[in-house]
Amino acid sequence: MTLLDTPLTRALGIEVPVICGAMFPCSNPELVAAVSDAGGIGIVQPLSLTFVHGYDFQDGLALIRRLTARPIGMNVLIEQSSRAYMDRMRRFVDQALEAGVRFFVTSLGNPRWVVDRVRDAGGIVYHDVTERKWAEKGIAGGVHGLIAVNNRAGGHAGGRSAEQLLEDLSGFGLPLVCAGGIGDAAGFVAALRMGYAGVQLGTRFIATDECRAAPEYKAAIVHAEEKDIVLTERVTGVPLSVIRTPYVDRVGTRTGRVARWMLRHRRTKHFMRTVYALRSAWALKRSLMDGGGSNDYWQAGKSVAGIDAVVPAGSIVRDFAAAARG
Ligand SMILES: Cc1cc2nc3c(=O)[nH]c(=O)nc-3n(C[C@H](O)[C@H](O)[C@H](O)COP(=O)(O)O)c2cc1C
């Protein structure tokens, strides 16, 4: 038995317990396929596939299937804000099942409907959580594993460290995946040694040949240090991890006072979240391809510290596996 033989690799039928996490707007078909093809598993972000990269959802999945026959996953962001969005998500899940997807990563909200929908097909659902109370909710919804998003993660970071989350969540007896702060093979091996069943990486996979982000965005990740990562509320209304640029310095990281009040108030918070979701979707789509970064946000987490070159995504998976084999 090696470090690579974990409940995650066994459940998904993959070789290396490395997940290329869903990334809006950075998940493009070539990136997802490259990670899966190398023995890890790439996660499709449906809105990134369709809205950012311009594919019809089924065509995008078919493209990935042409690039690799190995397992892929899909991210299901469960938001309460709009019925049209939820209907669309349900359709995406059904279409993913038809295309042979069996691994689903849910984020936010109650994952029960996803668990129920994929059960008959043998689907497996892991739920992103930042703390114990969300884990309890996910487990009540029937999920099969937890992705512990820690305080070093890209995207919407949590507030607890990888060690604290392991302690908080181990008692549930479900496989735990470490998300956040892993940029190199040493970090991967350390997470497995700690007791995690796998890792979920975002930032590391942006600085790859296959990711369609602007070269300047990738270079910013390669050159950034941990201290260059800041949390801003201005994109999505809740703290989002981005690289500190002159633009971020100029506009600050807090929302305006009215928006902050509306985001907290019971009657206005859903409306305000929808406003932010729509605005941020456009802003992040633009920033993916924008080389200037003059008035845009480049999302990244503290794993930038371990990232020193743009490389093929498959080589990351292979290097990690080699390090774990010792
Ligand atoms: C640019 C970017 C976009 C992300 N978008 C999503 C998303 O749409 N859905 C989601 O569940 N997680 C999202 N995440 C979180 C990642 O899936 C993953 O958990 C996180 O990046 C791990 O931390 P790391 O960046 O330090 O590796 C995003 C992360 C980044 C860096």
pLDDT digits (tens, 9 = 90+) for 167-203: 999 999 999 999 999 999 999 999 999 999 999 999 9
Q: For ligand 1, is residue 201 a contact (CB within 6 Å)?
A: yes
Given a contact cutoff of 8 angstroms between Cβ atoms, the answer to whether 311 and 236 are in contact is no
**Percent of the chain at pLDDT above 70?**
93
pLDDT of residue 8: 98
Query: 291 falls in which pLDDT band (50, 70, 90)?
Result: low
Alpha carbon distance 169, 166 (integer Å): 5
Taking residue 306's Cβ as centre, other Cβ atoms within 10 Å add up to 17
Angstrom distances, CA of residue 10 to CA of 36, 175, 226, 279: 15, 11, 34, 40
Q: Is the dihedral of CA 209, 211, 216, 219 positive or negative?
A: negative
Q: What is the mean pLDDT of residues 129-133?
A: 96
Q: For ligand 1, is residue 111 a contact (CB within 6 Å)?
A: no
Alpha carbon distance 150, 170 (integer Å): 15
pLDDT of residue 14: 98
**Percent of the chain at pLDDT above 90?**
74
Query: 287 or 65, which is more confident?
Result: 65
Convert the pLDDT of each residue in 236-262 to its tens digit. 778 899 999 888 888 778 877 776 776
Given a contact cutoff of 8 angstroms between Cβ atoms, the answer to whether 300 and 241 are in contact is yes
Q: How far is the CA of 1 from the centre of ligand 1 (A)?
A: 30
Q: For ligand 1, is residue 200 a contact (CB within 6 Å)?
A: yes
Q: What is the mean pLDDT of residues 297-318?
A: 96
Q: Which atom of ligand 1 is nearest to the CA of 201?
A: 27
Strand runs labelled E in 172-304? 176-179, 198-201, 229-232, 240-243
What are the counts of helices (DSSP H) followed by strands (DSSP E) for the chain? Answer: 15, 10
Query: 126 falls in which pLDDT band (50, 70, 90)?
Result: very high
Q: Which DSSP string corresponds to 203-223? A: HHHHSBSS--S-HHHHHHHHH
Alpha carbon distance 127, 25 (integer Å): 20
Q: For ligand 1, is residue 181 a contact (CB within 6 Å)?
A: yes
CA angle 284-222-247, nearest 5°? 45
CA angle 321-322-323, nearest 5°? 90
Query: 163 falls in which pLDDT band (50, 70, 90)?
Result: very high
Convert the pLDDT of each residue in 262-276 to its tens digit. 677 777 677 666 766
Q: Which atom of ligand 1 is nearest to the CA of 300?
A: 31
Query: 280 or 311, which is more confident?
Result: 311
Which of 31, 129, 203, 280 has most ligand 1 atoms within 8 Å of CB, for mutation? 203
Taking residue 105's Cβ as centre, other Cβ atoms within 10 Å add up to 29
Least confident of 29-33, 88-92, 203-207, 243-247: 243-247
pLDDT of residue 293: 53
Q: Which residues share a beta bridge with 20? A: 42, 201
Given a contact cutoff of 8 angstroms between Cβ atoms, the answer to whether 205 and 31 are in contact is yes
